[in-house]
Amino acid sequence: MKYNYFKTSIITTLILGVSLTLIVSCKNSKNNEPENFTTAIKVGVFDGHGGAQTCIWEALEACKLDPQIQVRSITSHDISNNVLDTLDAIIIPGGGGSRQYLNLGEQNIARIKQFISNGGGAVGICAGAYLFSNTPEYSCLKINGAKAIDIEHDNRGHGISAFSLTEEGKKIFPEYSEIDTLYCMYYEGPVFVPAENDTIKYVEFATMLSDVHEEGGAPSNMTNNKPFCIGNNYGKGRVASIIAHPEATPGKMWMISRLVRWTLEEKFGLTQNFANPQGIQNPELANKEILMSIADLKKESSLFKVFLYGSAEEKIEALDWLEAHFSWDAKRWIQGLLYDHEPSVRARAAKYISRTHYFKYLADVEAAFNNETDSLAREDIGKALDSLKNLK
């Protein structure tokens, strides 16, 4: 009996000691890291008719930069089959908001609204932000307190646009808080003002500075000084809406995962541990306004045929121009150039993909490197491959 008591006392002491150590460790962890830091943030990106394929790809890749986020694409049937029960947040990417609404269907829209109201997070990008709005005569969820205006000129233009962070926005993106003007890809996003008689009130995180009216007879002085990014509460959850495309902008992609974290801040916090923050958060990668004029768009379109029928020199010259203008359309053209019959084109295409942070084609760059027989091209492709890998 005495031996058993002594043995039991030792075991009890050890258990208490371990428990105290864990408690102290957890307290220290809370001081230095967000709560549940080791818990994955589960995010679903809606992949349905109406979502632009490149926007879906880029939203997925942007989320993957955050090592704590587990991201997957979700469809209308996934939502119907209760996939939202397994997620912390959802992203509605760019494309066409009304088509996304129709693809979701009213029952799934009700499920999404209930998911957010119960404490989930939601990020709407461009068309996704449009879908979240309360815009008359437009099929939308009415969950962000904004309405889109001048919708008859939605095709107003695109390119690298200027924006500035508000004081509230600087709290979310302190890495950019000392920079007066930032730049991001914009592609015909909604022009927001507060929706009349809406009980939801949004906070403006960033303001659009560029006046985009290059196409479609759009009026001037419409986009500038309007909300660029907003956020609001919806029930127990949070909604973030951004009219432009950080996920499509080198040096700004990380802003999407930060917005996801903002919608879930009480649970996960804003802290992120990127593999290469200097590369991922580099504002100098897109540092001036480049709005595509009608002449630019015509030239951009003509370069598609260059990739089909041009010489190596012409293809490289085309890649130089497209990269300098942050071409939106070229994203879908350059994958096959990694397998061009000319090694100089293969090498230049790899550089293009690396410099634009187009992670969707990382596997193609790796395949091109593994199969390259030209020593100079192999060296250049290898550098591009290493640059991409070091960012993730």
Mean pLDDT (whole number) for 316-320: 98
34 is a domain residue? no
Domains in the chain: how many in total? 3
- Are residues 98 and 189 part of one domain? yes
Query: Where among 256, 290, 324 does a domain terminate?
Result: 290
User: Residue 18 pLDDT more than 70?
Assistant: no
33 is a domain residue? no
- Are residues 309 and 263 part of one domain? no
pLDDT band at 166; cut points 50, 70, 90: very high
254 is a domain residue? yes
35 is a domain residue? no
203 is a domain residue? yes
- Are residues 182 and 327 part of one domain? no
Torsions phi, psi of 183, nearest 5? -135, 145
Do 154 and 191 contact (CB within 8 A), yes or no? no
What's 108's domain CATH number?
3.40.50.880
Query: Where among 234, 265, 290 does a domain terminate?
Result: 290
Mean pLDDT (whole number) for 271-292: 94
- Are residues 105 and 181 part of one domain? yes
- Are residues 330 and 238 part of one domain? no
- Are residues 199 and 62 part of one domain? yes
Q: Encode the chain in three state secondary structure.
A: CHHHHHHHHHHHHHHHHHHHHHHHHHHHHHHHCCCCCCCCEEEEEECCCCECHHHHHHHHHHHHCCCCEEEEEECHHHHHCCHHHHCCEEEECCECHHHHHHHHCHHHHHHHHHHHHCCCEEEEECHHHHHHCCCCCCCCCCCCCEEEECHHHCCCCEEEEEEEECHHHHHHCHHHCCCCCEEEEEECCCEEEECCCCCCCCEEEEEECCCCCCCCCCCCCCCCCCEEEEEEEECCEEEEEECCEHHHCCCCCHHHHHHHHHHCHHHHCCCCCCCCHHHHCCHHHCCCCEECCHHHHHHHHHHHHHHHHCCHHHHHHHHHHHHHCCCCHHHHCCHHHHHCCCHHHHHHHHHHHHHCCCHHHHHHHHHHHHHCCCHHHHHHHHHHHHHHHHHC
Mean pLDDT (whole number) for 307-314: 98
- Are residues 273 and 301 part of one domain? no
375 is a domain residue? yes
57 is a domain residue? yes
pLDDT band at 25; cut points 50, 70, 90: very low
User: Residue 3 pLDDT more than 80?
Assistant: no
- Are residues 53 and 7 part of one domain? no
Mean pLDDT (whole number) for 358-382: 98
Per-residue pLDDT, 310: 97
- Are residues 195 and 159 part of one domain? yes
Mean pLDDT (whole number) for 303-314: 98
Query: Where among 270, 290, 310 does a domain terminate?
Result: 290
- Are residues 343 and 203 part of one domain? no
- Are residues 114 and 62 part of one domain? yes
What domain range is 341 assigned to?
A: 293-391
- Are residues 281 and 269 part of one domain? yes
d(CA 340, CA 189) in angstroms, rounded, equals 35
36 is a domain residue? no
User: Residue 202 pLDDT more than 90?
Assistant: yes
DSSP lists the bridge partners of residue 46 as 74
Long-range contacts, 326-330 (Cβ 8 Å, 24+): 326/159, 326/160, 326/185, 326/249, 326/286, 326/290, 326/356, 327/300, 328/158, 328/185, 328/187, 328/248, 329/300, 329/301, 329/304, 330/300, 330/303
pLDDT band at 65; cut points 50, 70, 90: very high
d(CA 145, CA 139) in angstroms, rounded, equals 15
Looking at per-residue pLDDT, the higher value among 23 and 206 belongs to 206
The per-residue pLDDT for range 168-191, each reduced to its tens digit, is: 999 999 999 999 999 999 999 999
